[in-house]
Amino acid sequence: MNERVLIVSALTDTGILSGLSSAEWDLLIRQGRRANLLARLAYQMTADDLMNAVPEQPRLHLISALRMVERQNKAMHWEVQCILKALGSAEADVILLKGAAYVMAGLPAANGRTFSDIDILIPKRRIAEAESQLMLNGWQGTHHDDYDQRYYRQWMHEIPPMRHIKRGTTIDVHHAILPESARLKINTPALFQNVVELPGYKQLFVLSPEDMLLHSATHLFHEGGLENGLRDLFDLDSLFRSFSEAPGFWEKLVPRASELGLSRPLYYAIRFCTMMLSTPIPGEVVAESRIGKPLAAISILMDFCYKRALRPAHESCSTAGTGLARACLYVRSHWMRMPFPLLVCHLVRKAIRNSAPPSWDAPLARDLN
């Protein structure tokens, strides 16, 4: 169970790639594609000057994946410009989150990373105005059903995702980083105090290094689906590595987690990054972070679950208990998201409405013959 899957071994040490057989390359490309880490691997290999040594067939898949993210990266810059233009008159500072933040701040976590949407954070009092500005500029609301509207607006930390009618891009507008109904109560006003303005832009910000890492951890360890769990763990690994140079990062990290109410997700981030990806984290920070450690029994259960769920959702990575682990984490994510009575009502409504599970991999809508 503790052995690393091939894609993790390859990303943590590209040196192993020189000895791979055709069958191993086959498996590596499949795992990488499923985990949305293929382009990251391609980026890493290009940086290590290993691309030319790769057999042609797998190399073409790596290059394909790289082209895709390079394009997304460009599109991200354009999309952010469009969002700023739309929100310009709302006088609202825009804080980019997750992938959009990594790209626009030029962080290594953006290298080879794919995106499906853009996440922004703005103060709650500005939400209504921002929403109407976005609507005036071509973004349309989704989830028109009354229940969904209430679900988002009353309990969630974001409004329903908005999609641009022409470009088809999606924006998630957040006013907090966890649902209002969540068990974990976050000091949201404090989040807005340490933001960092991006040079060359007006009113465009990212979270401070500590907060960016804490948000990434919070997102991963509150998620239920975890289709991109391993990718998100690599994001954390990359953030830890690049911020280790930032002045005062390690000293501020654990105290800041306590201040925001995010000691638990930070504990998990450090535990699973060090355990699964050998992320270098100073011993005293690891020790300090244990204030976020849950009760022993829960800790054992979480180890069981995340060791299995933070692997590619690929048949070659399933082990005994993978299904159970994913199911547990799915239930947990709902448990964390809202109080029990509300959760029961919500799940019953969802169960009645969609008896079929959502499809993960909607293929191209185009007519292929």
Partner 1 sequence: MKISEYSEKQLVDLLKRGHLLLSLKPFVTRVQSDIVSIARDIALMYGDFETCPIDSFADFHVSVVQETGILGWMKPRARFYFDGRPSFVPLPVDQAFAMLEWGLNWCIAAHSHQYLVIHAAVVEREGRAAILPGAPGAGKSTLCAALITRGWRLLSDELALFDMETSVLYGTCRPVNLKNTSIDIIKQFAPQVVMTESVADTTKGTIALMRPPTGSVSMVESPAHPAWVVLPRYLPSAPPKLESHSRAETFMLIAEQSFNYDIHGANGFNAVGNLIDRSQCYEFTYSKLEDAVSVFDGLCLGRIG
d(CA 116, CA 253): 29
Q: Quick check: 167 binds partner 1 (CB under 8 A)?
A: no
Least distance (Å) between residue 276 CB and partner 1: 23
Least distance (Å) between residue 20 CB and partner 1: 10
Q: Quick check: 68 binds partner 1 (CB under 8 A)?
A: yes
Least distance (Å) between residue 172 CB and partner 1: 23
Instruction: Name the region of 226 (left: φ>0; alpha: ψ -120 to 50; beta: rest).
Output: left
Q: Quick check: 356 binds partner 1 (CB under 8 A)?
A: no
Closer residue to partner 1 in complex, CB, 19/363: 363
Are 127 and 173 a contacting pair, CB within 8 Å? yes
Q: Looking at 64, 89, 140, 278, which residue binds partner 1 (CB under 8 A)? A: 64
- Compute, in degrees rounded to 10, the torsion defined by CA atoms 117, 122, 126, 131: 0
Count of residues near partner 1 by CB under 8 A: 32
Residues 309-328 that bind partner 1 (CB under 8 A): 314-315
Are 39 and 65 a contacting pair, CB within 8 Å? yes
DSSP code of 25? H
Q: Quick check: 51 binds partner 1 (CB under 8 A)?
A: no
Q: Looking at 6, 7, 8, 34, which residue binds partner 1 (CB under 8 A)? A: 34
Q: Quick check: 55 binds partner 1 (CB under 8 A)?
A: yes
d(CA 119, CA 80): 10
Strand order in the sheet with 162-164: 139-141, 162-164, 170-174, 118-121, 94-97, 204-206, 196-197
d(CA 362, CA 339): 32
Q: Quick check: 221 binds partner 1 (CB under 8 A)?
A: no
d(CA 70, CA 82): 19
Least distance (Å) between residue 224 CB and partner 1: 19
Q: Looking at 74, 77, 202, 350, which residue binds partner 1 (CB under 8 A)? A: 74
Binding residues (CB under 8 A) for partner 1: these are 21-23, 25-26, 29-30, 33-34, 55, 57-58, 60-61, 63-64, 67-68, 70-71, 74, 314-315, 359-361, 363-364, 366-369
